[in-house]
């Protein structure tokens, strides 16, 4: 029973009710209610788990051509671009889901399949902060450090060093779950339980190896003691750095110490997938844009940094046509057009073009990938019910080929089908909901009584 005191009252657990979507053979509404990908979410509709890779087969091939080193293939580009052509149609073309999918492809086996075993790769997805909080290069470097830690690139490097340093017995290594080493190689308690002396043997050996690789003494100790656990490294090291320290030492951490860490871990390449670059560019003034792209050139192409000497980082910038127009003069002025042409005829050699989807070819497989995930029985997979083919094709056409807008529309249509008891949904119902008229403010009442004549003629 609920407590009458509002300070002590807690929400009661609702009684279990049958899902209204069961009559359509679905456990719940299969379409997302968020316009963006939320990687940390447990909901497969939001975290990018549901993904139909073949819809972006051409873009994926271009991604591999530009950024993945393979035997008997041209070297990967240090910088490449992903051009989003759906800006004026709204968010939801799928570029963030595409980037997260590419990161997962790389991280699942550290690039073994993609590089045919010739390279060891890591990848990180970077989402810059808005409101001008990433307008400076040191702020961008800070974002890179946090993303590399959050995506376990730093932890993977430490796990590899722990596995290769010779301190952990072979019998213990055989117990490690190499798909997720965080619970074993990243867990000091587990290592201690399996006859590994962590403090004076394992961590001390890792620290010596990092110093031998050229990592600074303070960072060698920090990485050896905290780097194998992403939360610990963020809490004890990254969060403890003041803004002044990030200005002074942030670029050194990312482009010197972390690069030497990756080299010590025998990592060949780290792919940095930078999303929503407009959050960096738009708040910048002209001099900040020139300085930012010049720092990009120095830290990734030809500056006196370990990242340049080792060619460790490959950088993918996600841009829009208007960002291209604003950034291109500064990009060319610093000479980056010779490394990655942003405009002109050579731009296509460095750019993945992300176009809206063609409804006739892609609508059905995209919708099925979501609906099949929430089907009650396996035998019902492959069915669009309660939609027909014309309905989902119409939904993508009405959304301008932007899959995010289409999924939102279908979510609303399915909710209407539940609410109104529709047995099926055709194109006419989809079009009707898409063109629904919204209420307008009622017009003013123009029937006014006329004023009576004045009793005194003031003019006279």
The count of other CB atoms within 10 Å of the CB of residue 423 is 9
- Domain boundaries of the chain, sorted by first residue: 53-354, 358-434
Is the pLDDT reported for residue 307 higher than 90? yes
Alpha helices in 53-194 (DSSP H): 57-67, 95-109, 137-150, 153-164, 170-173, 188-193
Q: Which tokens in the block code for residue 441?
A: 């403010």
Rounded mean pLDDT, 77-101:
83
Closest by CA to 402, choosing from 84, 93, 96, is: 93
Show Cβ contacts of residue 377 under 8 Å, excluding neighbours closer than 6 positions. Answer: 25
Asked whether 292 and 137 are in contact (CB, 8 A), the reply is yes
Q: Which pLDDT value is given to residue 37?
A: 80
Asked whether 28 and 374 are in contact (CB, 8 A), the reply is yes
Kindly indicate the confidence band of residue 30, based on its pLDDT and cuts at 50, 70 and 90. very high
DSSP code, position 110: T
Kindly indicate the confidence band of residue 94, based on its pLDDT and cuts at 50, 70 and 90. confident
Asked whether 327 and 281 are in contact (CB, 8 A), the reply is yes
Asked whether 392 and 364 are in contact (CB, 8 A), the reply is yes
Show Cβ contacts of residue 97 under 8 Å, excluding neighbours closer than 6 positions. Answer: 37, 48, 51
Judged by average pLDDT, the poorest of 127-131, 164-168, 366-370, 435-439 is 435-439
pLDDT tens digits, 319-336: 988 889 999 999 999 999
What is the rounded average pLDDT for all residues in the chain?
90
Rounded mean pLDDT, 422-429:
92
- For the sheet with 79-84, list strands across it: 121-126, 269-274, 313-319, 79-84, 351-354
Q: Which tokens in the block code for residue 166?
A: 């010779």
Closest by CA to 413, choosing from 371, 353, 352, is: 371
Percent of the chain clearing pLDDT 90 (strictly above): 69
Is the pLDDT reported for residue 87 higher than 70? no
Q: Which pLDDT value is given to residue 2?
A: 57
The Cα 446–Cα 298 span in angstroms is 69
Rounded mean pLDDT, 280-291:
94
Q: Verify cis geometry, omega within 30 degrees of 0, for the bond prior to 367.
A: no
DSSP code, position 357: P
Q: Which tokens in the block code for residue 250?
A: 């942030």
Is the pLDDT reported for residue 90 higher than 80? no
Q: Which pLDDT value is given to residue 444?
A: 65
Asked whether 323 and 281 are in contact (CB, 8 A), the reply is yes
pLDDT tens digits, 188-245: 999 999 989 998 999 999 999 999 999 999 999 999 999 999 999 999 999 999 999 9
Q: Which pLDDT value is given to residue 458?
A: 72
Alpha helices in 94-136 (DSSP H): 95-109
Closest by CA to 347, choosing from 362, 327, 372, 377, is: 327
Kindly indicate the confidence band of residue 135, based on its pLDDT and cuts at 50, 70 and 90. very high
Rounded to the nearest 5°, which phi and psi values hold at 237? -115, -65
Q: Which tokens in the block code for residue 215?
A: 């990592």
Question: Any idea which residue has 């008891």 for tokens?
Answer: 421
Judged by average pLDDT, the poorest of 8-22, 98-112, 247-261 is 8-22
CA separation, residue 355 to residues 90, 277, 358, 425, 439 (Å): 13, 18, 9, 28, 34
Show Cβ contacts of residue 290 under 8 Å, excluding neighbours closer than 6 positions. Answer: 330, 333, 334
What pairs with residue 80 in β-bridges? 316
Q: Which pLDDT value is given to residue 437?
A: 65
Closest by CA to 91, choosing from 30, 33, 32, 36, is: 36
SS3 state of residue 140 = helix
Is the pLDDT reported for residue 281 higher than 70? yes
Q: Which pLDDT value is given to residue 180?
A: 85
The Cα 433–Cα 286 span in angstroms is 45
Helix (H) or strand (E) holding 316: strand 313-319
Q: Which tokens in the block code for residue 244?
A: 């002044």
pLDDT tens digits, 102-130: 999 999 999 999 999 999 999 999 999 88
The Cα 312–Cα 410 span in angstroms is 43
Rounded mean pLDDT, 152-168:
95
Q: Which pLDDT value is given to residue 152?
A: 95
The Cα 223–Cα 236 span in angstroms is 10
Q: Which pLDDT value is given to residue 48?
A: 82
Question: Any idea which residue has 């399996």 for tokens?
Answer: 194
């Amino acid at each position: 029973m609920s407590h009458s005191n509002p300070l002590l009252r807690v929400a009661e657990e609702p009684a279990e009710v049958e899902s209204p979507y069961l009559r359509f053979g679905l456990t719940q509404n299969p379409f997302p209610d968020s316009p963006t990908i939320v990687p940390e979410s447990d909901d497969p509709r939001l975290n990018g788990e549901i993904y139909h890779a073949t819809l972006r087969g051409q873009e994926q091939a271009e991604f591999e051509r530009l950024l993945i080193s393979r035997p008997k293939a041209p070297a990967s580009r240090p910088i490449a671009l992903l051009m989003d052509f759906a800006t004026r149609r709204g968010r939801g073309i799928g570029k963030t889901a595409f980037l997260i999918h590419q990161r997962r492809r790389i991280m699942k086996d550290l690039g073994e399949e993609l590089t045919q075993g010739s390279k060891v790769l890591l990848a990180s997805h970077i989402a810059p902060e808005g409101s001008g909080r990433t307008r400076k290069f040191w702020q961008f470097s800070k974002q890179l450090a946090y993303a590399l830690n959050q995506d376990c690139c730093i932890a993977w490097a430490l796990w590899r060093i722990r596995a290769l340093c010779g301190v952990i017995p072979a019998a213990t290594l055989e117990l490690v779950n190499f798909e997720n080493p965080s619970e074993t190689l990243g867990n000091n308690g587990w290592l201690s339980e399996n006859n590994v002396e962590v403090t004076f043997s394992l961590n001390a050996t890792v620290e010596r190896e990092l110093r031998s690789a050229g990592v600074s003494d303070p960072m060698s100790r920090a990485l050896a003691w905290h780097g194998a656990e992403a939360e610990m490294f963020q809490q004890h090291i990254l969060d403890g750095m003041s803004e002044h320290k990030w200005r002074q030492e942030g670029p050194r951490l990312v482009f010197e110490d972390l690069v030497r860490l990756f080299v010590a871990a025998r990592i060949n390449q780290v792919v940095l997938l930078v999303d929503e670059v407009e959050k960096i560019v738009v708040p910048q003034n002209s001099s900040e844009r020139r300085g930012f792209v010049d720092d990009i050139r120095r830290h990734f192409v030809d500056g006196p940094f370990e990242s340049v000497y080792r060619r460790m980082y490959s950088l993918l910038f996600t841009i829009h046509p208007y960002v291209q127009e604003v950034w291109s003069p500064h990009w060319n002025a610093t000479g980056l057009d010779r490394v990655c042409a942003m405009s002109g005829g050579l731009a296509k050699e460095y750019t993945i073009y992300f176009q809206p989807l063609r409804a006739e070819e892609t609508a059905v497989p995209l919708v099925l990938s979501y609906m099949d995930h929430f089907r009650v029985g396996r035998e019902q997979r492959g069915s669009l019910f309660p939609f027909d083919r014309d309905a989902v094709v119409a939904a993508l056409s009405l959304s301008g080929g932007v899959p995010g807008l289409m999924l939102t529309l279908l979510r609303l249509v399915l909710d209407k089908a539940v609410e109104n008891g529709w047995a099926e949904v055709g194109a006419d119902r989809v079009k009707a909901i898409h063109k629904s008229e919204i209420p307008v403010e009622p017009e003013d009442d123009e029937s006014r009584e006329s004023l009576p004549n004045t009793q005194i003629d003031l003019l006279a």
